Chain A
Amino acid sequence: MAYRTHLMICTGTACVSCGSFDIKKGLEQEIRKHKLEKEILVVTTGCQGFCAQGPVMVVQPDEIFYQKLSTDDIPELVEEHLLKGRPVKRLMFTPPGGEKPVPNINEIGFFQKQRLIALRNKGLIDPEKIDDYIGRDGYKAIAKVLSTMTPEDVIKEIKTSGLRGRGGGGFSTGLKWEICSKAEGNPKYIICNADEGDPGAYMDRSIVESDPHSVIEGMLIGAKAIGANQGYVYIRTEYPLAISRLELAINQAREYGLLGKDVLGQGLDFDIEIKQGAGAFVCGEETSLIHSIEGVSPEPRQRPPFPAQSGLWGKPTNINNVETWANVPRIILRGADWFAGIGTEKSKGTKVFSLVGKINNTGLVEVPMGITLREIIYDIGGGIPGGKAFKGVQIGGPSGGVVPGSLLDLPVDYERLAEVGSMMGSGGMVVTDEDTCMVDIARYFLEFTNDESCGKCTSCRDGSAAMLETLKRISDGNGQENDIEFLEELGMAIKDASQCGLGQTLPNPVLSTIKHFRDEYEAHIKEKKCPAHVCKALISYSIDSEKCTGCTLCSRKCPVNAITGEVKSPHVIDQTLCIKCGVCSDVCKFDAVLIKTGKT
């Protein structure tokens, strides 16, 4: 049956949580009502990336992008656009600061600057239909590998492409495969690391949810190259939609003979099993992950030997992360030189980032390596909400560091980020603005890593606790001279003495904020000031008696009844009762609430 229109409705986790399945149901009902069901098909796609605007939908072939849909919009949308051919302006996206809505998806800044490799099927396929994937040249790369390439050819191709691990380490994928393929021991295993744990990062979840077959195909290619017959996807149990779509995809691939014995009749035996992790952050570390699959306590172990020599059950094992696997089929199909032509000297291809925090266009973006932070934050991200000043961006989650606003023109690749004390990590980008306190950010990440430390190494377990305690003291106004030097020294010691990546990188958020925002730490310690007005112990709220009109709004909204005053006369905040929640400041229409910091 030929349809004239496909409605591509996003069913990634973010849009699903905003009700995209209700939209789908409503659309189908309304389409039947107008007897258009033979002309118009509703397709559920994976994450389309523009998560802040969800639920989103693209009408093809018209390329019209609709956003923030609600079930109430459906009758108008179907009658106007689908029946009468008049796209509904009201439901289109208007860029921040812009006046006119932009109808065409390809003309929206958020989508324009992206370059899709790992997310190549974004919004174009139904992740629950293997045929949709095949129709986008899916499984063509494994067919090419099995019919025309030797394992050595495959490894050479991946090495030449320059692909590096997208999970954080940035190690050459081809080299990793080569080491494992040459390692002695049988059987060999391959693992997909889908234990994404960084706060604010959801690239891997999206790929598994939106295009599970791209990961399966990548693993098949890896299996042929390395000589493995069994693979595992280690995924956190908190990703239910990703798990169910991956299970479905594995079953479909088995039915088609793309997994199992004699894949495509070409002699490769390979199958995949899903292992669910219970959400411990340390399981993202490869030796801990292997322990978890084996059913023992997920603690890291000393390397070497590396998993490539002795991994799962003591056998040679190759681990790559989701995004890395998803890149592989495309490299095989389009060639190493094509891939190596994208990016910078040592960082090839693209990287997927989740753009969150103080940013207008929250979402998932894939950009070529070497793009500047400015392009990501302003051209794609649409800048900072409310016209506030950009302060910095935390890249790489709790293992990474803050890149300050002064480095906006920094090209983003593995080397440049490391040089400024941050790291690529798995690709979480938390944007901060003038209202963000850097001591507070560092404290937040240390709370996370201190909580998630497995406790095996003293340096990580007790070191993170000591750093956290110091940071808390500083933000409570009890910072002492030498605290900064102490944090720096302890941080370096933790990096040196910890066994795995968790401990080796946990001081980074502290060290990088000290490096770039030392004055903020000093203000907290010496002047007992929080310049961003965040640390509650260091700020106080009061009312400007000249500006206050006595409208009583703040006193009615105050949750602890700390504000008193007669109608039409200035109000007063009782400092002994005030919990510094900021509600008075948020509701005041006359800018009469003052926030003070420092010794008064």
Chain B
Amino acid sequence: MKKLNIEDLEKISQKVKKANRLRSGSARAKITVHMGTCGIAAGARNIMNVLLNKMEENESGEIILTTSGCAGFCSREPMVTVELKGNPPVKYVDLTEEKIEKIFSKHVQKGEIVTEYALAIGSEREP
């Protein structure tokens, strides 16, 4: 095996940093797919698969993808929440593969909220 020089070391470091960024819990964008029974029945798995492919294509490592349970608005599933660092979370509803692709390229990558698919901005507060 080739012995490393300082540049090689830096390359490995950058590559691994991207792949492992989700371990440190901080990222530029966090996408939550709501995977309650309702969400899964309405096609949340497909939405998840599209996002996983998008993540791989982009490989920026700046985005973390996670799941959560039912968001409480079952008739509007599938739903995702997109949260850019320093901004309030945005909930999208009635998603399809086309819609989530648009949300990914506009909101997640460029920071432009896709208002026509958005339900609300912000989260419910705990009492």
Chain A residues packing against B (C-beta within 8 Å): 1-6, 8, 38-39, 43, 60-63, 82-86, 106, 124, 131-132, 134-135, 137-140, 143, 146-147, 255-258, 262, 264-266
Chain A to chain B contacts (Cβ below 8 Å), 28 pairs: A2-B55, A3-B19, A4-B48, A5-B22, A5-B66, A6-B20, A60-B24, A61-B22, A61-B27, A61-B64, A82-B67, A85-B67, A85-B69, A86-B69, A132-B16, A135-B13, A135-B16, A135-B19, A137-B13, A138-B13, A143-B9, A257-B2, A257-B4, A262-B3, A264-B5, A264-B6, A265-B5, A265-B6
Q: Are B6 and A38 in contact (CB under 8 A)?
A: no
Q: Given A4-B66, A83-B35, A137-B13, do A256 and B3 touch, yes or no (CB 8 Å)?
A: yes
Q: B5 — which chain A residues lie within 8 A by C-beta?
A: 264-265
Number of A-B residue pairs having CB atoms within 8 Å of each other in the complex = 108
With both chains docked as a complex, state the minimum distance between the C-beta of A26 and any C-beta of chain B, in angstroms: 20
Q: Given A39-B52, A84-B36, A134-B9, do A61 and B69 touch, yes or no (CB 8 Å)?
A: no
Q: Are B69 and A134 in contact (CB under 8 A)?
A: no
CA gap between A138 and B69 in the complex, in Å: 37
In the complex, besides A61-B66, A264-B4, 12 extra interface pairs with C-beta distance below 8 angstroms are A4-B64, A4-B66, A6-B23, A63-B25, A84-B37, A85-B32, A86-B68, A134-B12, A138-B13, A255-B1, A256-B1, A258-B4
Q: Are A143 and B36 in contact (CB under 8 A)?
A: no
CA gap between A258 and B13 in the complex, in Å: 14
Q: B36 — which chain A residues lie within 8 A by C-beta?
A: 84-86
Q: Given A38-B52, A39-B52, A83-B35, do A6 and B22 touch, yes or no (CB 8 Å)?
A: yes
CA gap between A3 and B6 in the complex, in Å: 28
In B36-56, the 8 Å CB interface with A consists of 36-37, 40, 48, 52, 55-56
Q: Given A84-B36, A257-B4, A264-B6, do A135 and B30 touch, yes or no (CB 8 Å)?
A: no
Q: Are A135 and B4 in contact (CB under 8 A)?
A: no
Residue of A nearest to B12 (CB): A134
Chain B residues packing against A (C-beta within 8 Å): 1-6, 9-10, 12-13, 15-17, 19-20, 22-25, 27, 30, 32-37, 40, 48, 52, 55-56, 59, 64-69
Residue of A nearest to B1 (CB): A255
Q: A61 — which chain B residues lie within 8 A by C-beta?
A: 22-23, 25, 27, 30, 64, 66
Q: Most chain-B Cβ atoms within 10 A of its Cβ — which of A43, A82, A135, A256?
A: A135
Q: Given A85-B35, A131-B16, A135-B20, do A2 and B52 touch, yes or no (CB 8 Å)?
A: yes
Q: Are A124 and B24 in contact (CB under 8 A)?
A: yes
CA gap between A85 and B69 in the complex, in Å: 5
Q: Most chain-A Cβ atoms within 10 A of its Cβ — which of B20, B37, B40, B64?
A: B20
CA gap between A2 and B9 in the complex, in Å: 21
Residue of B nearest to A256 (CB): B4
Residue of A nearest to B57 (CB): A2
The 6 closest A-B pairs by CB, nearest first: A135-B16, A257-B3, A85-B67, A86-B69, A4-B65, A61-B22
With both chains docked as a complex, state the minimum distance between the C-beta of B78 and any C-beta of chain A, in angstroms: 12
Q: A6 — which chain B residues lie within 8 A by C-beta?
A: 20, 22-23
Q: A134 — which chain B residues lie within 8 A by C-beta?
A: 9, 12-13, 16
Q: Given A5-B22, A61-B23, A264-B4, do A135 and B12 touch, yes or no (CB 8 Å)?
A: yes
Q: Most chain-B Cβ atoms within 10 A of its Cβ — which of A39, A61, A86, A138?
A: A61
Residue of A nearest to B60 (CB): A2
With both chains docked as a complex, state the minimum distance between the C-beta of B29 and any C-beta of chain A, in angstroms: 11
Q: Given A38-B52, A62-B66, do A139 and B22 touch, yes or no (CB 8 Å)?
A: no
Q: B65 — which chain A residues lie within 8 A by C-beta?
A: 4
CA gap between A124 and B35 in the complex, in Å: 27
Q: B69 — which chain A residues lie within 8 A by C-beta?
A: 84-86
Residue of A nearest to B68 (CB): A85
CA gap between A258 and B5 in the complex, in Å: 9
Residue of A nearest to B61 (CB): A2
With both chains docked as a complex, state the minimum distance between the C-beta of A337 and any C-beta of chain B, in angstroms: 24
Residue of B nearest to A63 (CB): B25
Residue of A nearest to B54 (CB): A2
Q: Are A60 and B25 in contact (CB under 8 A)?
A: yes
CA gap between A68 and B6 in the complex, in Å: 42
Q: B2 — which chain A residues lie within 8 A by C-beta?
A: 257
CA gap between A262 and B3 in the complex, in Å: 9
Q: B59 — which chain A residues lie within 8 A by C-beta?
A: 2
With both chains docked as a complex, state the minimum distance between the C-beta of B82 and any C-beta of chain A, in angstroms: 14
CA gap between A82 and B36 in the complex, in Å: 11
With both chains docked as a complex, state the minimum distance between the C-beta of B22 and any C-beta of chain A, in angstroms: 4
For A2, give its contact among B3, B19, B24, B33 (CB under 8 Å): B19
With both chains docked as a complex, state the minimum distance between the C-beta of B60 and any C-beta of chain A, in angstroms: 10
Q: B9 — which chain A residues lie within 8 A by C-beta?
A: 134, 139-140, 143, 264
Q: B25 — which chain A residues lie within 8 A by C-beta?
A: 60-61, 63, 106
